[in-house]
Each structure stands twice: as C-alpha cells, then as structure tokens.
Amino acid sequence: MLKQRVITALVLVAILLPCLLLESPWPFAVLTLVFIGAAGWEWARLNGGHGVAAVALGGVIAAGGAIALVGGWLDAPRAPAIVGPLAALGWVLGGALVLRRGGAGWAAWPVVLRWLIGMVVLWLAWAAMTRAKLIGLNFLLSVFCLVWAADIAAYFGGRRFGRRKLAPAISPGKSWEGVWSGLVGTWVLAALWMAVERQFVFDSPSLYTLLLRQFGALGLLASLSFLAAMSVVGDLFESLVKRQAGAKDSSRLLPGHGGVLDRIDALLPVFPLALYLVSLGA
C-alpha cells in the first residue's frame, strides 16, 4: 500500500508541477478541471447516481468550467460581489446544518438537491483555485499549504493529546485537541512563510501577507483560525457523505489514496472563502 501511495503521489506531482510553474493559468485550470470533473463523478456515485448519470454530472461540472474559461469570466477583475458572502453563508450555516443532521438527514434530502449542492461546491472551488493561480503562484501555494499544515498538525496533535471526540458518528478519529493543534499549525506556518517573504522576492503576496495587511495581526490569526476550521468542515462533510453511502473512499481513481474527493475535501471551502477574505480589502 505504501509503495502504491508513493508512486501515485510522484505521478501526480510530475503532472501538476509543470502546470504550476508555467506563467499561463490555462494548463493549471484545465488540469484541475479534469480532477474536479472526476470529483463530480464520485459525488454522483456517493449520492445515488450510477453509470451514465454519474458521468454526466462530472461532465456538466467540467463543461461549466470550460465555458467560464473560454468566456474569460475568471479573468474578470472581480467576481460578482454576491458570490463571496453566499459561499461563506453556505459553508458556515449550510455546513453546520448538514453536520448537525448527520448521515440520515443528508440521505433524506432529494437526490437532485444533493447533486446540485455538489455541482455548486465543486465548481466554486475550482473557480477559486483558478483565480488564485491568476493572483500568483506564491498566493496559490500559501492556500494549499494552509490546509495541509492544518491537517498534519491536527493529525499529530490528535494522536498526542486527543481525548474529546469531535464528531464520533461521522469521523471517529477526529478530536477537539486535533482541531486546536491544526489552528496552531496554521499560525506557525504563516509566521514562517512571512519571514521567508521578507527575505526573498516572490511573484505575489501570500494569503498570510494579504490578510495581515488588511486585518492586522489579530485579524490574521482570526482569519487563519476560521479557514482552518472550515477545512475541518469540508473534511467532515465528505466523510458524512461517504458514511451514508457506505463507502470507505470516494473512489479508487488514485491508487493508494482513494478518490479525488478524498484528497480535496478540505480544500473545497477554503479556496472560495480565502478569496472572499482577501477581496474585502480590494
């Protein structure tokens, strides 16, 4: 299993790295759109879809992204002002509602509504990632690394200090102590990242630098804590959907890693919300 995971990770890095380093956002946008389309297929299968219907959902999401690319929507100076607040309300209030109702509550919702939620969530996350690439590689990587740092710190903090379960019916391994560790991990990462930024020239400010400029030190800590918390919501949301479907992984598309949704679940809320936060100072 470990060998399989390493080989898959190396292949993904070999594919993704050139797209990240190229100045044009198109290769990255197209590559991530393929992954988001695959995630749409997984979402459909986890929510009652099979065969052609599941493929169709992934195709619709990919087609929506392609239209946005060709139409130049993502190159617009600013997204419609209503998108950010709606994404924030959707993830904060909608996420709380879904997690509170649990897997049985989620399964009781109409399939069409669950599919529509998946389409919106996946498309918005992809659009936000593409917009982040337009801002600059340093900004894009700082958002990715925020989520990874929160996840890694939560894992080790939970193993070392975990006592109180966060959501035992959804994800038994997560603890409140892990959540707090994840928050601290993002603070440490931001401090180190900004220290490096002061020593070298990058193509763009990081998420952390922009948040510091806009909200000050306390606002930065609060914003990072909010984004780290929302990464947990994204993770729990996907775990809930898998649990009600009786699935361990979202698919087997990535040998040793499960499916695409398994790898991007925590990113889904963070990217649109990070873009919204930095837009407040624009």
**What pLDDT is attached to residue 255?**
79
CA 243 to chain centre: 19
**What pLDDT is attached to residue 80?**
56
**What pLDDT is attached to residue 70?**
81
Q: Is residue 117 part of a domain?
A: yes
Bridge partners, 175 (sequence order): 165
Q: Is residue 171 part of a domain?
A: yes
Which helix (H) or strand (E) is 51 found in, with range?
helix 51-70
Alpha carbons within 13 angstroms on the beta-carbon side of residue 183 total: 13
Q: 121 is written with which tokens?
A: 């969530």
| pTM for this entry | 0.93
Q: 11 is written with which tokens?
A: 């292949």
Residues of the chain below pLDDT 50 = none
Bridge partners, 165 (sequence order): 175
Q: Is residue 79 part of a domain?
A: yes
Rounded Cα gap, residues 42 and 65, in angstroms: 17
Is the distance from CB of 120 to CB of 137 less than 8 angstroms?
no
**What pLDDT is attached to residue 50?**
85
Q: 161 is written with which tokens?
A: 């200090």
- Eight-state DSSP code of residue 171: E
Is the distance from CB of 107 to CB of 35 less than 8 angstroms?
no
Share of the chain above pLDDT 90, in %: 63
Is the distance from CB of 274 to CB of 128 less than 8 angstroms?
yes
Identify residue 60 by its one-letter amino acid code: V
Question: Residue 217 region, left (φ>0) first, then alpha (ψ -120 to 50), else beta?
Answer: alpha
Which helix (H) or strand (E) is 11 found in, with range?
helix 2-21
**What pLDDT is attached to residue 3?**
67
Q: Is residue 5 part of a domain?
A: no
Q: Is residue 14 part of a domain?
A: no
Q: Is residue 63 part of a domain?
A: yes
Q: Residue 136 belongs to what domain range? A: 24-279
Q: Which residues contact 192 (CB under 8 A, 6 or more apart)?
A: none
Q: Is residue 8 part of a domain?
A: no
**What pLDDT is attached to residue 56?**
93
Q: Which residues contact 96 (CB under 8 A, 6 or more apart)?
A: 233
Q: Is residue 241 part of a domain?
A: yes
Q: 164 is written with which tokens?
A: 């109180």
Q: Which residues of 216-249 are buried (b: 16+ CB within 10 A; e: fewer)?
A: eeeebbebbbbbbbbbbbbbbbbbbbbbbbeeee
Q: Give the count of beta carbons closer than 10 Å to the beta carbon of residue 18.
A: 11
- Helices 51-70 and 111-135 meet at what angle, rounded to 10? 30
Question: Residue 188 region, left (φ>0) first, then alpha (ψ -120 to 50), else beta?
Answer: alpha
Instruction: Specify the 3-state DSSP secondary structure of 166.
Output: strand
Rounded Cα gap, residues 21 and 13, in angstroms: 12
User: pLDDT (tens digit, 9 = 90+) per residue, 241-256?
Assistant: 999 999 989 988 887 7
Q: How many domains does the chain have?
A: 1
